[in-house]
Amino acid sequence: MRTIKFRGKRKDNGEWVYGSLLQCDRYTDIWYQDNECFRNRVEVEPETVGQFVGICDKNGKEIYEGDIVHGPIVFLKEQLYHEGAIVWGNCGSTTSGFNIKISHLIECYVSIDAKKLTNMEVIGNIHDNPELLKNND
């Protein structure tokens, strides 16, 4: 069974929290377990919520929607090293592709096989490190 979990930035202190997502009309919460195994709920900024895509990068770090990855991306049969933000994917699937946005100014997307993400490295995310994508324009 695939792991389904989310992350979001806490409204109270801006730190990342990981767990289960609960969205209602008035709030967006992440439920998580603390060290004593108590379930806790914290409100997060809705625009920062991203789902775990079900695979890890080359260093074993979990990849979430909104992460910025660096690695080989093939353009017209030419392999280039590039940064791109994970913006959509069939989360948890290792047979389908992911769309990677490679520019912050124009809608330029590249589809990549999920297995190739395991050769890339998470270098940040669009919320904490948007400047990482600006170098690609």
Residue range 50-59, pLDDT digits in tens: 999 888 889 9
pTM over 0.75? The answer is yes
Q: Quote the CA–CA distance of 92 and 117 in Å, as a whole number.
A: 12
Give me the residues paired with residue 98 across strands.
Answer: 89, 112
**Strands 28-33, 67-75: pairing kind:** unpaired
**126, 68 Cβ separation under 8 angstroms:** yes
If pLDDT is split at 50, 70 and 90, which confidence band does 127 have? Answer: very high
